[in-house]
Amino acid sequence: MNSRPLPPGALRIQGLGKAYKRYARKWDRAGEWLGLGVRHRLHWVLRDIDLQVDPGEAVGIIGVNGAGKSTLLKLIAGITQPTTGTIERGGRLSALLELGIGFHGELTGRENLWSAGALAGLDGATLSACLSEIAAFADIGDYLDQPVRTYSSGMQVRLAFALATAVRPDLLIVDEALAVGDLFFQQRCFERIRAFRAAGTTLLFVSHAMSTVYALCDRAILIEGGRIIQDGEPRRVIDVYNASIANRLGSGDLRIVTAGPGAGSYDRGDVRIEQVQVLHQGQPVQTLVSDSLLTVRIEVRFLRDLQDPHVGFQVRDRRGEAIYMTHTHGLGLRIGPVRAGERIEVCFSFIARLIPGDYSFTVGVADGGLPGGHLERSLTRFQEAAQFSLTRNLQAAHWDGICNLEPSCQIQRL
């Protein structure tokens, strides 16, 4: 056991496990207590968690409902106690967990700040110094002096976030909560979180919104069945997560790549993507100028007969977030029935009106086009199938953003 205190914002978890007691019948808990020979079973909701987080890291925690994400955050925050293992933290922690934790419905918002202040790691003197700032950030007007039970869930989150972030913590833990607030409030929260990060705060963040994980985190962990099964760059961890969801939605027979640059790719052995190329004027390229005509050429071999196959692609930005996607069905095209052994080539061409930077293609094949441009069954997905970089088009007018809309403009003196 290492006894040296951790630096502010660091977190070290070793062999962490959490189990709840389970009883077969309703009265068994009382029976066990009375010594009637009834015994509980342990239901493990988290197991063998080892995790080291360095100061200033922003870690997104993702996984399906019931995977154990909230339990992990509650253990780190010290709200519940581990069954096995140890948790060490450096510096001051502030936690924004499930709605309602720490607030009493009968007390007013203002009264609650005093009782919930402890969860935000604030003492009385600090709290009184920050009260007006908390009220201003929460921006809930007269409701501050009304009982919390009369609040909407958005108002509760506003107050809880304002309190949790009144003073910059070394370690900030946020559980989904922000999703409840309106867009304007979310933006203000993100701004504050970004400012904290820039100043060195460590962030642990549970979210079901992958765009938030892309926006805020430089690392992600995927929890499944109470264990950490992925830990790394958000794009790879999110791709593996999406693949495992596709597997659950389908017949559960996907082979998923779980490591390396193509992590999150999958197939079920009925088609093979043999080659993916980025072409400009018929030649393979890696770098081209923004606003050039670009072709992504996808070569597919079918390993069994299919009635209505479709091929698609995604353009992803440097962080891995998809900025565009479509497929043959979406474009109103049909490949038609194919036989096992047949090979096809599909070329999508477009003008790359995108901001200079690094991009990648994800490509996929599905079977069955449904109304509304949807596809019935995904057969394979190939992540990071090809890369390209765009450099600045010196001829183009100045613009900024993601995509060049090439606006026209008329000016009139009135």
Q: Would you count residue 341 as binding ligand ATP (CB under 6 A)? A: no
CB nearer to ligand ATP: give 110 or 227.
Answer: 227
Least distance between ligand ATP and beta carbon 219 (Å) = 18
Least distance between ligand ATP and beta carbon 21 (Å) = 8
CB nearer to ligand ATP: give 43 or 255.
Answer: 43
Cα–Cα distance, 308 to 401 (Å, whole number): 37
Least distance between ligand ATP and beta carbon 72 (Å) = 7
CB nearer to ligand ATP: give 226 or 234.
Answer: 226
Instruction: Tell me the two tokens of residue 404.
Output: 């060049």
CB nearer to ligand ATP: give 19 or 167.
Answer: 19
CB nearer to ligand ATP: give 67 or 189.
Answer: 67
Least distance between ligand ATP and beta carbon 357 (Å) = 33
Residues 182-241 that bind ligand ATP (CB under 6 A): none
Least distance between ligand ATP and beta carbon 44 (Å) = 9
Least distance between ligand ATP and beta carbon 98 (Å) = 8
CB nearer to ligand ATP: give 73 or 279.
Answer: 73
CB nearer to ligand ATP: give 241 or 382.
Answer: 241
CB nearer to ligand ATP: give 41 or 334.
Answer: 41
Site string for ligand ATP, 10-49 (x = CB under 6 A): ----------x------------------------x----
Q: Give me the helix-helix angle, 153-164 and 124-138, nearest 10°.
A: 140
Residues 47-106 that bind ligand ATP (CB under 6 A): 63, 65-71
Residues 112-141 that bind ligand ATP (CB under 6 A): none
Least distance between ligand ATP and beta carbon 347 (Å) = 41
Q: How many residues bind ligand ATP (CB under 6 A)?
A: 10
Least distance between ligand ATP and beta carbon 69 (Å) = 4
Binding residues vs ligand ATP (CB under 6 A): 20, 45, 63, 65-71
